[in-house]
Amino acid sequence: MKTFRLQSVLEYRKSLEEEIQREFSELQAKLYQERELGLRIKEQICAWQQKFHDRQKQPQGICSAEIDLYHKFLHFLTNEAARQEEKIRSLELAVEQKRQVLLEARREKKIMERLREKTLILWRKDMLRKEQKLLDERAANRRRRGSQDMAPGYGR
């Protein structure tokens, strides 16, 4: 069977697609982790806000230093949540860009695979044509020999 002369290009495109797929999967996993962290930060903000409101409702009240401490900590958590949201947006953009690169790599690999299949089909057709030509030549030779065997005066 004939070897595909661009097999090395096809193999390169396959390995490139696999590498990009691995990078894409890693980015998706990182995005998932960062989203989870963002949710935990938001949950912490809610929990600390609830603690602050519960503390304010207590009969003994809350001192100004404690109020200041709650406000500073909630401000810190709010800033963390904003930074986390920015990180998530950045990762979402990176994931989408990598998805586009992956789709392009897949298209390029598919082009090479189709070219290989077309080359194989053409090779098979050529082999069948050559085989049919050989069979036709053999049949014609047999007919010629058969007609020579029946010629008058042959074999006497």
Q: Per-domain residue ranges for the chain?
A: 7-107
**Cα separation, 34 vs 96, whole angstroms:** 16
Position 100, amino acid: Q
The pTM (predicted TM-score) of the whole model is 0.73
Report whether pLDDT(99) > 60.
Answer: yes
Mean pLDDT of 86-97: 98
Phi, psi of 54 (to 5 degrees): -65, -40
- Contact criterion met (CB below 8 Å) for 116 and 7: yes
**Cα separation, 116 vs 13, whole angstroms:** 13
Residue linked to tokens 């050529």: 126
pLDDT attached to residue 156: 46
Report whether pLDDT(151) > 80.
Answer: no
pLDDT attached to residue 153: 58
